[in-house]
Structure 1
């Protein structure tokens, strides 16, 4: 984009405006473009020219009829409009000022600010972290660097299960920017491939935190970025993992046909890989079962469940499982089988499986315990066990309150809606009171049309 080389920097007052910061963080380009017009005099036609977009496309974005999700487009926007990379969750851009000069430019003298007034935000947390990480990116990574990064990812997984991903996300995105800064085509292939793999997992994990927060557009953008990074090193099993995540998200968006297409693509990637272990194949078969169940295809669901169990039985000690699939253990296989039956409405099959897995599950996995308890309550309600269902759902409230997961809260509220025909029954009244006390409504209502 030749013109961007000569583009002036955006006004500091706009870059430090809380509304602009929030719009960039959410990648809400309709707001970003409106703010650019209002505060920097950059009109849609100029945006189109600088970012190599068509004027009609920019107009559709401003009108709210189109979203911009592809990473290459987001990078063109950052470069064409001179929006610092950290504001859009990107690595530092080539055109950004060196750190020393940027620090001077961001630190106006004290005399500019009248006594008793706060200075304009000169070093926002994101900017500060980005600067530190960019400095660190100048170091030469070693095998121990890769080991440390992988250890931190595994810690993120654990903390995500225990506390939810909302508070982890800034750290994960910051580390993603750091790793992207380390990528260098001149490095030895093993080091470069390791860095690409870590960046792909950090992007996938970021997407997962957005999915768990039910912010689906942002999740899809990061999942797509994870696919791009994994494709750079032909990591077919990991691409299958990302596509499986996207398939699960599609079931939440009431797009079962998309869910099936995505998991089919995931299985194609697994078949293309020599490293697709029985555990990976079992996990993918179970995701296929979820998609068929969302479509209401009973026969295909049962076949996919059977395939998942056949694959799982082939697991042997010492299999070269990737770290990211270690979570798919026997309790997870059992509970997912129960959930697949539950999605079909086969509550008599689902209830004992979910109950058994809940007893065996990791007590530290707060989100898993809450999620599975709600599913158990749903199957009990389907079987006419109203009092027991309300008791089980009440037990889900404590772990749900301990973890930041809009997805779990959504399930609890959906269960509450399912109690509507029995809302006057004492058990239902007691559950509703506990739900309001523990998880107060946040000004939003669950669309009843959405399926789990």
Structure 2
């Protein structure tokens, strides 16, 4: 038996056309079918197949010789042509929420059954790797360490562009490799370098779990990163890991933990010879996020002021660590706007986020999507529905390029905030575009 054709998404301009809205409201399917044919290129034969109607019946309806009134038929038309339920006086259809915005509780992966455990015959076994490792030099060469650091930089770039889900197996494998090298290395200087590389890989692994909203695993790897870097007493990097843990705590709605982590980070670098204004500015902004999560308006504003004060002290020759280079002026501005937004100060937040979004360049797809969604939220808070939906639509293209459950969570929140406006044409158009980018 042939499978029924998949519904084609109607263009947003048709769903917001006043004539289409009126035709749906009065359930005038003669007009509906003619508009669908004219503006979406879906001809009567395809309408019949999509809606499980006979071609002759569709022809009679389009000619005005027959009316469709049975609820079951109207529901088939809504589902077959992807006409939102509210336009036809129906309940919200199941397909109107893209699968990517449906919250799914993750369960631990189950190992395959014994009969399914297939091993590639063309790959050497792990025992061969162990044997060959015995013949390797005790200490890795400087070029090996340089290659490891270069791979970490590449991992971070690809995480910004595509998300970390697909990277994680490679990063974890490299982390284990470096930890094994730590067990065999004898040179103190090489060991110190390896501890730094391992800490970076552990932080990156923790970040990929955090971005996937797998918070327990993320915390375990962040903790491992702290233990590794403590061996070389790199206090700046400790502060970096603690700042990551603070950000995660805000997502987990644990603002007290968030504040404790970031204050520990500030204590870790305070007065240290390697502390730079850029690091201090970034940490002050993370402190602002924590205070905003607690609803502490005055403390948030004080932390924001300190972040800007420290940023003004930055000099070109400051010995900034590589991991803080992302914290440039547009990032300072957009984070300032987000902190105001967290407090509900939408009027102050909107121009700051909008300015930063205009100035953003590069390949950080996730950052572009995050910031556009935040801008849309502040616009919606001020009652600017049209602007909010247009801004959120701009966020969909970069969002679709990144596998990030954290980003999907932001989309879910904005999507939920549109509930009071479900019947508005601009909301309908946004939802249609949303389903195109994040299909069911």
- Tell me if TM exceeds 0.5: yes
**Residue aligning to 1:370:** 369
C-alpha change, 1:124 and 1:249, in structure 2 (3 Å) is: farther
| SS, match of residue 167 in structure 1 | coil
| SS, match of residue 409 in structure 1 | helix
**Residue aligning to 1:342:** 341
**Residue aligning to 2:360:** 361
**Residue aligning to 1:285:** 284
| SS, match of residue 183 in structure 1 | helix
C-alpha change, 1:356 and 1:128, in structure 2 (3 Å) is: farther
Deviation, 1:120, is 4.6
Deviation, 1:318, is 1.6
1:401 touches 1:439 (CA, 8 Å); kept in 2?
A: yes
Q: What is the CA–CA distance in structure 1 between the aligned matches of 2:426 and 2:359, rounded to whole Å?
A: 27
Deviation, 1:122, is 3.6
Could you tell which deviates more after superposition, 119-128 or 275-284? 119-128
Q: What is the CA–CA distance in structure 1 between the aligned matches of 2:122 and 2:353, rounded to whole Å?
A: 43
| SS, match of residue 233 in structure 2 | coil
Q: What is the CA–CA distance in structure 1 between the aligned matches of 2:299 and 2:124, rounded to whole Å?
A: 50
Does 1:212 pair with 2:216? no
C-alpha change, 1:431 and 1:134, in structure 2 (3 Å) is: farther
**Residue aligning to 1:325:** 324
1:166-196 C-alpha deviation (Å, 9 max, x unpaired): 1111111111111111114752222111110
**Residue aligning to 1:56:** none
Kindly report which structure 2 residues correspond to 1:11-410, keeping only aligned pairs within 5 A, or say none: 120-122=117-119, 132=129, 135=132, 138-139=136-137, 140-184=139-183, 187-271=186-270, 273-410=272-409
Q: What is the CA–CA distance in structure 1 between the aligned matches of 2:127 and 2:342, rounded to whole Å?
A: 44
**Residue aligning to 2:19:** none
1:56-113 C-alpha deviation (Å, 9 max, x unpaired): xxxxxxxxxxxxxxxxxxxxxxxxxxxxxxxxxxxxxxxxxxxxxxxxxxxxxxxxxx
Deviation, 1:159, is 0.7
Q: What is the CA–CA distance in structure 2 between the aligned matches of 1:272 and 1:203, rounded to whole Å?
A: 27
C-alpha change, 1:325 and 1:422, in structure 2 (3 Å) is: same
Q: What is the CA–CA distance in structure 2 between the aligned matches of 1:133 and 1:316, rounded to whole Å?
A: 48
Larger Rg: 2
| SS, match of residue 339 in structure 2 | helix
1:282 touches 1:309 (CA, 8 Å); kept in 2?
A: yes
1:184 touches 1:192 (CA, 8 Å); kept in 2?
A: no
**Residue aligning to 1:70:** none
1:239 touches 1:269 (CA, 8 Å); kept in 2?
A: yes
| SS, match of residue 362 in structure 1 | coil
Q: What is the CA–CA distance in structure 1 between the aligned matches of 2:122 and 2:292, rounded to whole Å?
A: 44
**Residue aligning to 1:13:** none
Deviation, 1:28, is 5.2
Q: What is the CA–CA distance in structure 1 between the aligned matches of 2:131 and 2:249, rounded to whole Å?
A: 36
| SS, match of residue 304 in structure 1 | helix
1:125-159 C-alpha deviation (Å, 9 max, x unpaired): 99957964884583431222221111111111111
Question: Structure 1 regions of 5+ residues with no counterpart?
Answer: 1-25, 40-117, 442-452
1:212-266 C-alpha deviation (Å, 9 max, x unpaired): 1111111111111111101111111111111110110111111111111111111
Kindly report which structure 2 residues correspond to 1:410-429, keeping only aligned pairs within 5 A, or say none: 410-429=409-428
Question: Structure 2 regions of 5+ residues with no counterpart?
Answer: 1-105
C-alpha change, 1:186 and 1:370, in structure 2 (3 Å) is: closer
1:134 touches 1:181 (CA, 8 Å); kept in 2?
A: no
C-alpha change, 1:200 and 1:424, in structure 2 (3 Å) is: same
Deviation, 1:436, is 2.4
Q: What is the CA–CA distance in structure 2 between the aligned matches of 1:432 and 1:119, rounded to whole Å?
A: 41
Q: How many residues of Structure 1 are paired with residues of Structure 2 in the alignment? A: 333
1:129 touches 1:174 (CA, 8 Å); kept in 2?
A: no
C-alpha change, 1:282 and 1:134, in structure 2 (3 Å) is: farther
Note the aligned Cα RMSD (angstroms): 2.7
Q: What is the CA–CA distance in structure 2 between the aligned matches of 1:262 and 1:308, rounded to whole Å?
A: 17
Kindly report which structure 2 residues correspond to 1:3-14, keeping only aligned pairs within 5 A, or say none: none
C-alpha change, 1:134 and 1:301, in structure 2 (3 Å) is: farther
| SS, match of residue 219 in structure 2 | helix
Q: What is the CA–CA distance in structure 1 between the aligned matches of 2:255 and 2:285, rounded to whole Å?
A: 14
| SS, match of residue 327 in structure 2 | coil
Q: What is the CA–CA distance in structure 2 between the aligned matches of 1:284 and 1:276, rounded to whole Å?
A: 11
